[in-house]
Amino acid sequence: MKNLFKFFFNQKKEFDMGKFLVVGLGNPENEYSGTRHNIGFEIVNHLCKSRNIVLSEDRYGFTGEFKYTGKSIHILKPNTYMNLSGNPTRYWLNKLKIKPSNLIVIVDDLNLDFGKSRIRPSGKDGGHNGLKSIIEKINTENFIRLRFGIGNNFKTGKQTDYVLGKWSSVEINSLEYLINTNSEMILHIIKHGVENTMNKYN
């Protein structure tokens, strides 16, 4: 009986439910700064600035931490290319003992109009290479994703140029507001849960 109790106690301690890992996806080199594909970086940068957090270079990327509503919020900006995002995500989930359901991944989404965002508690990769890599490496689709709409206003064969292109002047006019709103959505997820946040923002 004692060994049985010890087993269940250790099972409960396997993950720390008081922690979240927030991963903003993007490509690391300067040439990709300010592109649509790097909106994940932009949102976590804003979130950190709003919490007075300075990211520091660490294993597999830039990391930071702050407390919010009694929980430890860990930030990760991977230093791998988008299609290898699963490696740093898996490493930090394991190192911090964070359950995948407490993982929030921020990505760009061609299937949503610019200015629209959607929160999902799980799902397929939707053709996004970063999500595909994460799903493969952590072996589950059951993690939170915040999808930022970048639209699909490009001609046939020009998808890559569009995704890796800079924001238009029209988009830039509302980008700061949208980034701030998406940062607030992340904090709302942590404080109130996914379902409540979906009802409020989706």
Residue type at 154 in one-letter notation: F
List, in order, residues 6 or more apart from 191 with CB less than 8 Å away.
68, 69
Nearest CA-CA partner of 171 in 187, 149, 191 = 149
Q: Considering 37, 46, 74, 128, which one is annotated as catalytic?
A: 37
Known catalytic residue at 192: no
Looking up tokens 């009694």 gives: 70
What is the set of active-site residues? 37
